[in-house]
Amino acid sequence: LIGANGAGKSTFLKILDGEIQPTTGHVSMGPNERMSVLRQNHYDYEDQTPLDVVMMGNEKLYAIAQEKNAIYMKENFSDEDGMRAAELEAEFGEMGGYEAEAEAAQLLQSLGIKTEQHYDLMANLTAGEHVKVLLARALFGKPDVLLLDEPTNGLDIQAISWLEEFLINFENTVIVVSHDRHFLNNVCTYMADLDYGKIKLYPGNYDFWKESSELALRLQNDANRKAEEKIKELQDFIARFSANASKSKQATSRKKMLDKIEVETFVPSSRKYPFIGFEQEREIGNDLLRVENLSVEIDGEKVIDNISFILAPGDKTAFIGQNDIQTTALIRALMGDIEYTGEIKWGVTSSRSYLPKDNSRDFATDESILDWLRQFVLTKEEDDNTYLRGFLGRMLFKGEESLKSVSVLSGGEKVRVMLSKMMLQRANVLVLDDPTNHLDLESISALNDGLKKFKGSIIFASHDHEFINTLANHIVVISKNGVIDRIGETYDDFLANDEVQAKVKKLWSED
């Protein structure tokens, strides 16, 4: 299910789920069919174990198990209890209850939740692990219809890859909202495009939809242009000859032709693409970055221990980690945003612009977008309200929106403002930590294109497969105890190299 931010994708899923009632029409399913929904209520189950939370995904099965267990816990077990327990056991068996715990455990294991954590309390899990447990809960028990709203958010690359394979092989119906283009291309066989309150269904994956919809728009515009030219030609003829008696019949017939021509106005998509383009004020010299014996501690625990690597000018480097903690710690250390030991040496001609994963400190002010952005201008011409408003307009902040306080902006708006800052700074090194987070498909596509055209160096971390594959020419795999350095190959090539992947697996297993 695709559509611009605010088009109504989440609302439509809530209607399907029954959380919102439609004003007209209805949603129906077969009497024995079950719908499962990925919910974002990450902290509703703090006193439950992950295994129980997953099994709750099949509410009926879980209720039977609870009732059955409650009967067996009774001190005075009556004949009536025995009959009820037998009924429940039969129903439990028919629903696959005896295999359910093993299935739930397998789902958790596949998503990276270790066996010893299955019986721990949810309260002791990290935020990322909460996301994985709720995803396993949605997938549990082979639902007939599966609704997934942004299922890859908060997942590491390995979990996303596993989820793709799971859904490709899933035999029932899946309706998914995602901003991950690679995920949509791999998993989906139809695109439901939600625009102007209407949904159109297209066969094929995301790339096929994008190309075919762009082609349809071009053809429609071409047909409109030709129709308008024909109308103009006929109008000119009528104007010239309608007063001429000898040609009046011909003019009348042309008038009838004119009445038959319709210019179909192809309603343009409500999607808006920001303009994102980066320039560098000066090119970098011979050196970009040297990192030697770098270590970083967070809350007394070493997350990076004595790693070294070198980046060269022109490198577009993707940091790939087993978890976000390591990649974010590394990027923060490179930007002097966190304490570290070891040496980080930037080239003397390098200038850096930074998009952090957490931008809350950048926006801890009530300044307007306009005034906040003004501090990053480099020329007198840019320090002008008209110029800055125009600049922000290209980043989809129209009219008075530029006067909004930065403190009240949405996640996606804040990222667009940060990207505006980076464009104004004209640095020759762009450092971005999870830049596609919070952005819609249109903004991700525009950012991807803008970075591909950038002539300088890029250092970034991302979970977006397409983003990494189309940008990176240098991949650095990060672990606590070392790195694997791959230069001059795409992300797809890196993933397809079995020898390299075996090394990555070994490196990460030692963390």
Whether the per-residue pLDDT at 250 is higher than 80: the answer is no
What does the pLDDT read at residue 242?
64
| Dist CA 17 CA 11 (whole Å) | 10
Q: How do the residues of the chain divide into helix, strand and coil, expressed in percent and rounded to 5?
A: 45, 15, 35
Query: Per-residue confidence at 265, pLDDT binned at 50, 70, 90?
Result: low
213-230: pLDDT as tens digits: 778 778 877 888 888 888
104: its two tokens: 């739930």
H/E stretch holding 432? strand 429-433
Please report the DSSP string for 355-372 in residue order.
Answer: E-S--TTTT-S--BHHHH
| Dist CA 127 CA 264 (whole Å) | 51
393-402: pLDDT as tens digits: 999 999 899 9
- Name which of 177, 82, 59, 158 is nearest 113 in CA terms: 158
- Name which of 93, 100, 2 is nearest 58 in CA terms: 100
What does the pLDDT read at residue 159?
92
- State whether residue 466 is helix, strand or coil: helix
376 Ramachandran zone, left/alpha/beta (phi>0; psi -120 to 50) = alpha
Residue partners of 419: CB distance under 8 A and separation at least 6: 274, 276, 355, 395, 435, 447
Query: Per-residue confidence at 93, pLDDT binned at 50, 70, 90?
Result: confident
Predicted TM-score (pTM) of the model is 0.83
Task: State the SS3 of 235-258.
Answer: HHHHHHHCCCHHHHHHHHHHHHHH
470: its two tokens: 């189309």
437: its two tokens: 């987070």
The length of the chain in residues reads 511
What does the pLDDT read at residue 245?
58
Q: Which of 241-250, 342-351, 372-381, 391-400 has the lowest mean pLDDT?
A: 241-250
Burial class for 453, CB neighbours closer than 10 Å (0-12, 13-18, 19+): exposed
| Dist CA 495 CA 511 (whole Å) | 20
| Dist CA 130 CA 115 (whole Å) | 15
What does the pLDDT read at residue 259?
75
